[in-house]
Chain A
Amino acid sequence: MARLTLERVSFWYPATERPALRDASLAVAPGEVVALVGNVGAGASTLLLVAADLAPRVVGGIIKGTVDFRGRGNGEGGRGIVLPTPWTQLSGMAFTVRDEVAFGPANLGWPRERIAGAVDRALDALGIGALAARDPATLSGGELQRVVIAGIVAMEPALVLLDEPTAELDPEGAGLVWRLVRALAGDGCSVVVATSDLNALPEVAHRIVWMEDGAVRRIGDPALLAENALCEAGLATTVADVWRTARLGAPYPLTVAQAEERWRQ
Chain B
Amino acid sequence: MAAVSAELRFGQVSFSYGTVPALRDVSFALAPGERAALLGRNGAGKSTLLRLVTGLLHPAAGKVSVGDWDTSGRTPESLARRVGSVFQHADQQLFARSLRDDVAFGPRALGLAAAEVARRVDGALAALELSAHAAEHPYDLPPAFRKLAALAGAFALEPAVLVLDEPTAGLDRPLRARVARALSERAAAGVVVLVATHDLAFAAEVLERGLVLDRGRLAWDAPLAALLTSSERLTPLGLAPPVGAALSAALDLPGRPVRERDVAHTLARVAAARGRV
* Chain A contact residues, CB within 8 Å of chain B: 16, 38-41, 84-85, 87, 134, 138-143, 146, 164, 167-174, 196, 199, 234-235, 237-239, 241-243, 245-249, 256-257, 259-260, 263
Contacts and interface: CB of A to CB of B under 8 A. Distances in A.
A245 B265 CA distance: 8
Contact of B171 (A38, A196, A237, A247): A196
A256 B263 CA distance: 12
B47 to A, nearest CB: 6
Interface stretch (B66-74, B94-102, B240-248): B240-248
A139 B243 CA distance: 29
Interface stretch (B57-65, B113-121, B172-180): B172-180
Given A238-B244, A246-B264, 20 more contacts: A39-B172, A39-B174, A84-B143, A138-B18, A139-B43, A164-B170, A168-B88, A169-B198, A171-B239, A199-B243, A234-B173, A235-B173, A239-B243, A245-B260, A245-B261, A246-B265, A246-B268, A257-B250, A259-B250, A260-B250
A256 B142 CA distance: 32
B43 A167 contact: no
A172 B238 contact: yes
Residue from B170, B238, B240 whose CB has the most chain A CB atoms within 10 Å: B170
Contacts of A141: 42, 47, 88-89, 165-166
A226 to B, nearest CB: 13
B198 A168 contact: yes
A143 to B, nearest CB: 5
Interface residues of B, number: 48
B264 A170 contact: no
A4 to B, nearest CB: 24
B247 A242 contact: yes
B219 to A, nearest CB: 14
A237 B169 CA distance: 17
B237 to A, nearest CB: 10
B267 interface: yes
A41 B18 CA distance: 41
A138 B75 CA distance: 22
24 contacts: A40-B175, A87-B89, A134-B20, A140-B42, A140-B47, A142-B43, A143-B43, A164-B170, A167-B169, A167-B170, A170-B198, A173-B41, A174-B198, A196-B170, A234-B173, A238-B242, A238-B247, A242-B244, A242-B264, A243-B264, A245-B264, A256-B243, A259-B247, A263-B251
A248 B263 CA distance: 13
A53 B132 CA distance: 34
Contact of B277 (A234, A249, A260): A249
B260 A241 contact: yes
Give 4 closest A-B pairs by Cβ, nearest first: A142-B42, A234-B173, A245-B264, A171-B240
A246 B271 contact: yes
A203 to B, nearest CB: 13
Contacts of B220: none
A241 B247 CA distance: 12
Given A171-B239, A243-B267, A256-B250, A85 B169 contact: no
Contacts of A239: 243, 247
B52 to A, nearest CB: 15
B93 interface: no
B144 interface: yes
Residue from B144, B242, B263 whose CB has the most chain A CB atoms within 10 Å: B263
A84 B170 contact: yes
Contacts of B170: 84, 164, 167, 196
A197 B74 CA distance: 39
B92 interface: yes
Given A242-B247, A260-B251, A247 B277 contact: yes
A139 B41 CA distance: 13
Contacts of B88: 141, 168
A173 B263 contact: no
A173 B42 contact: yes
B198 A242 contact: no
A196 B173 CA distance: 9
B15 interface: no
B169 A164 contact: yes
A245 B267 CA distance: 9
B263 A171 contact: no
Nearest to B91: A85
Contacts of B261: 245
Contact of A168 (B142, B166, B251, B263): B166
Nearest to A255: B243
B130 interface: no
Nearest to B267: A246
A164 B174 CA distance: 17
A237 B238 CA distance: 23
Contacts of B244: 238, 242
A171 B198 contact: yes
A40 B247 contact: no
